[in-house]
Chain A
């Protein structure tokens, strides 16, 4: 049994992807910025 991707399902999947994408992006930014404050 196969069915079309519904608009709602795709929107839900894309919204979840955006949230995770932002979270990863912010983690990358934090890693980049925090690096400047590491003292040897």
Chain B
């Protein structure tokens, strides 16, 4: 009996766990460790942030779903990794547990006489908060997602700073309440400035900030106060429409156009201003300080601001069997786990599609995988830039949504083949330089009044050798704006919540 531990229950972790259990059945154990008791369909958080949905619409409890599927669920966060086992290492105060799949005492060895690897987790449920447990594993899938690094920019974030966020349902609910207050002030005749964007030069998920900016604009229009509000989109993208993927080119009406022109057109239509190539340095109450690529230092006053934080890997360490710190062997400096990517430092001009990982297997420890945001990308997709002072203005590559679910699925199949068929190497692959992605960026909610930009790109990471002109397959890369896009995004919300709840036919819905 093998035990697979999946850390994280977001899109990639949840997908991996479900496919693993489906393949492995009752003979093997699948354990999911997540610090949150609920699943959150994050793409819809922007609608919670404008009051069009509630927290209850975007979350559901994980425990009953996993219980029904025969998956063990532990509400905890990972703190320490022992990929070689801990045969000769002190175990401190960590409590050890015994599993059917992997015995758990000091110096535990597996069937081959090798130490059984382990991961230490700290419980976060109300009943067991703070309790540390050592979980043995045969295979580990790291799908811990991002740590929201609000601390990277002083004054950023809703907890210890002055800006709103839509990263979690709680943040989005607070943002919605703040927006409601702002609308009341606008209705009273005041004029206000709204700033929405990213709060650091290395942020990712510009698409989410873009969506929230246009949903707020839509909300202000619905409330009849749009003319009294100035809406500004503040981004680290060098140009609009970059979205952290270097922009796109589409063929439309006989012309080849760019996502930049397409996005600028939407900004003009909706009267939204933009500040690009910006790295926010600090935030004070009512003022955002940011530098731009031309070297200018700027101050921007605001009445309502939602700025996304940069991401970093979960804060945990790795030790060898002898207790030596091997964190830098397993993890990149960003805290994300190293996989089968080419991490050789090279200039932008020498980056290739082949640099991107295919199997998400750690090169040192073959039974450790990382999917979704948790894997360390080899480099950005957009060209990284810096201010004359050396401040990075470099959008990080997005690894969410559709690609993230696909990674979870292929890793699950690879591990299942290794356990069931004795495969010595991963049998499935899904490089971001080969897979396509669909992105539906909401620009307003409403069954008759909503709008969204529906886009597909193939591949996500441009492959300039295969597609020398634009880096992508023009037949599979398109974009269009309209009410239909909103219907698609709303339908995807329902479909993916249905799929995540593992209702009948869930596997028919693609990642």
Answer yes or no: are A and B bound together in one complex: no
| Chain B interface residues toward A at CB < 8 A | none
Instruction: List the interface of chain A (C-beta within 8 A of B).
Output: none
